[in-house]
Each structure stands twice: as structure tokens, then as C-alpha cells.
Structure 1
Amino acid sequence: MISRRHFLKQTTVAGSGAILVPNLSFNLYKKPEYGVQLYTFRDELAKDAKQTLKTIADLGIKKIESARSTKGLYYGLSPEGMKKECEALGMKLVSGHVALDDDFESTMEQAVRSGQEYVICSSLPSKGQTVDNYKSVADAFNKAGESCKKLGLKFGYHNHEYEFESHDGQILYDVLMDNTDPELVYMELDLGWVVVSGFDPMDYFKKYPGRFPLWHLKDMDFKEKESTEFGNGDLNIKKIMESQKASGVKHIFIEQEEYTSTPVESMRHNMKFLKKLS
């Protein structure tokens, strides 16, 4: 008998059906230059940001995406300091997770000083799992996108699981997609949460081609709804990687919130896993 995990590994089945991928080899695509979402190293960064950045660089990471912390957007470093540290280590600060709140003007100003390209809203700025709320959020996103564009930045949104709930017969994430301007709002698709929610990323790549320039790549334990090391969860990472062209992805950030050992050991495992795919 085929186990549930083995079956998911082979087909990456979600509630709506199997994930569809092109009949193309992973090797036909340009090898990605993987990045990491720094929330993966949140505790280490809080203790010693500079040393942690060096540790990340030593793992072969070339791109990073920051996340808000108790020490600010850059873990106690100034925007210029963060840029300087990354450049010295051969890394690029591409993106940052932020809040769309009353301090957003300061957030944008700091992002410009850091040299990053994307400013990504990390969670829904207002509560309410209704179509009307998501339309209101979409309006706020379009305005934020306009503000960012004027400063040479790109505004985006990172999903979780709840955006794929439905209200009045509509998938709320689709409401967000349909009411945001593709020229102003760029989507960072968290692949793990999409599939855990019972949906197929390829369906979104087909419906909204080129709308997902950023990914969060994470393996997930479907039962526990927790992230885990690549190959230890229920995602077929190889097949997902084959859908790069369809999604229009430019930056792939590895993210892992839970670990069997330490963040460093988990990331070392993940990098080795990805290397074997190429």
C-alpha cells in the first residue's frame, strides 16, 4: 500500500487536485541563486546580526530578505549598515518584510537607504475574512504600490494560509489578485502555505502569469502544518522548482520557521538538497 506521504511526494496532491507542472526538465532552467528569509535566523540575528550574516554567507547564500524584529527592520543595524555588511559578504539585500502601518513612510525611506528592491507586506493589514475587506486591502496595496514606485521601490504581499479561505463563493486570495494593479503590487507566493491550504500553485501561475516574482520555498509537514527541512515534509520540491518559468519568479527565498536541530544545520541541509536537484 502506498503511504499518504509517499503519494504526496510523487504527486504533490492538494485538495483541489494534483499539482500540474510542465513536461520540462529542471535542468532546462537557469540555476537559481537561492536566498533566505532572515526570519529563519531570527534568534541568532537578535544576538549578533553581523556574525549571523557572515554565517549565512558562508552557507553559500547570495540573496537575503529581511524581516521586522524587536530591534527594527535591520536587526539593530542602520539601513546603510545593513547594506554595507551584505556587500562586504558578497550578498544582496533584495527584499524586506514590513508592516503596512502608520510608520510605512519611514519604512519606505529606510528601504531606499538600504538599497533593497522590494518592500513586502508580511501579513494582512486589517482583519476580516470577507470579500469587502479584501477589496479594501487591495485598494490600500495599490496606494502603497504607488508610493513605493515613486521612490524606486516595488511593493508586494506575502500570503499565509488564511487568504485561501472563501467568502460568498469567492476565494479571498483571488479577490486580492483581481483587485490589485500588477504594475504596483508584486506577489511573493509562499508555496508551502498554498499547498497546505489545498490549492495548486500552478493554477495560480496559469491564471495570473508573471505575477509572482518572489517565492518562499519551504517544505511542510501537512499534518502539523509546520515547516521542516527539505525532503522531510510532504512537498515535491523538484516538481515545484520546475514551474519557475510559468510563475515569472526572479527571487527564491528559503524560509523555515521550525527546525529539527538548529537554523544553521537546517539551512545547510536545505542547500545540499537543492544542489542535488540541479
Structure 2
Amino acid sequence: MTAAGLLSRFARLALAGGLAAGLSGAALAAEEGHSLIEKQDWSFGGVFGTYERAQLQRGYKVYREVCSLCHSMDRLAFRNLHQPGGPEFSEEAAKQIASEYQIPDISNETGQPFDRPGTLTDHFPAPFPNKAAAQAANGGAYPPDLSLIAKARAEHRGFPGFIVDAFANYAENGPDYIYALLTHYEDPPAGVEPVPGKHYNPVFLSGDWISMPKPISDGQVEYTDGTSETVEQYSADVSAFLMWAAEPKLEERKEIGFRVMIFLIVFAVLLYLTKRKLWRNVEH
């Protein structure tokens, strides 16, 4: 065998070995790091899934009373709360929600800063004026913006997981992760030394220790619709709300996708019948 042939064979073997190691390593990491992240039964899952309006409204309440104390949501405006496809608060209710916030502004007449009640055109105000202030108030940790967190924290599975997910139309691993994270705060195992300023959570993707303390407890947020006030329910509601914030056009996308699939199926049948008619008397 020539030197070029030996080099080519060695490269193929190295590539195959690296691929196998990568796949096995990814599988091991998935087994060890994500075994606690279970698929939840979301109303917006599947081909025909839709958001549950009452759940999104409860999720906003959890965000407002708990999450917004540290986390911003810069991409969300108050007008989004009453637009179709989301929580669908009435316009009056959305205006009332906006007016309860104080929005920093600049006077057009004097040029001086002042605070005014929010309007539908305003975006959700951040809890801190800048990143440095946020870190100073949270022991050096920077609470991430939650506008796209349900997409940013989605687990990107390798082969063959992404193929299975595509056929199953499974795209809810972001909310699954958020739900698991919020419901798995616990004491560290025996023999594990606590980390100062950190809290043990085996679901946390960057390690078992997270800067955010357990954010919510049973009975902390009052629901007026009779829904149970438990950590699990709060976590499910706010996870659904964050999924909507990250993908507000989900219902519209699924509806358009379904129509396109129907069109393609009908078009394929018509093409087949046309081909049969044009070529039926032609010998092959």
C-alpha cells in the first residue's frame, strides 16, 4: 500500500474513532446530565398544540411577582399581553397592567428625566439599570434576560436524537428544562461540600451549583381561578409563559405548516395522476 493510501486509511480510522467517541460521550453526558429532565405534557406540544390562555395568564403572574424581581424581559411589550396567540388579556386589563409600572422617560420640554405610568407601547422595564447593578445586587451573578430563555436553554440533541424529535414534532425541551430546574432544588448529597453563594440543583446545565436560590415555594403566588398553588404548578405555568415569550407565533406557525402540508399532499397526488394520464399509452 502506498504512503498516500496509508495516510487516507489512517484519516478514515481517526475520523470514525473520533465520531464514535463523540457520540458515546454525548450519550453519556445526556444520560448523566439530563436524566432528571422529563418530557412534560404541554398544551402547545405536537402538531396541533396551542397555548392555554389561562395558563399563560397565571404564568405572567408568577413572572411578575417572582421572576421580574431579578430577571428582565426586554423583548416583551405590554401590548403583547392582549394580542392574539398569547395570554389574551383584554385591552383594558393590559392597560391596567402597564399603568402599574413606572417607566423612566425624558421630558420633551425640560429634557429632565422622570418616571411615568407605563402604556401598551412600552416594553417590560428591567429590574436593574445596568449589568453592573444587577451583579452587585446578586452577589456577582448576572440574572439573564428571560425573553428567549425557553429557546436558549433548549437541549440540542445530537444524532439520532434530533431526527427522532423532528418526526415526533418535539420542540419543548426548553420548557422541560426550565420546569425541571425550578422543581429540583435540594440539599447536596452526603459528602458533597457546599459551595459558598451557590445552591445545589442537579438539573443545572453548567454544573450542580447555581447562583439563583430557590425562587418559589408552595402558596407564594395567589391564584384566583382555583388552580393549585404548588411549586410544580407555578413552574409549569411560568415555563409555558416563557415559551410563549420566546415563540409568540407558535400557533400561527403550526396552522400555516399544516396548510402547507395539505397543499403539498394534494399537489403530489395531482402530479401523480397527471403523469399517469400523459404516459399511460407510452411503452417504457
TM-score greater than 0.5 by the shorter chain: no
Greater percentage in helix: 2
Larger radius of gyration: 2
Greater percentage in strand: 1
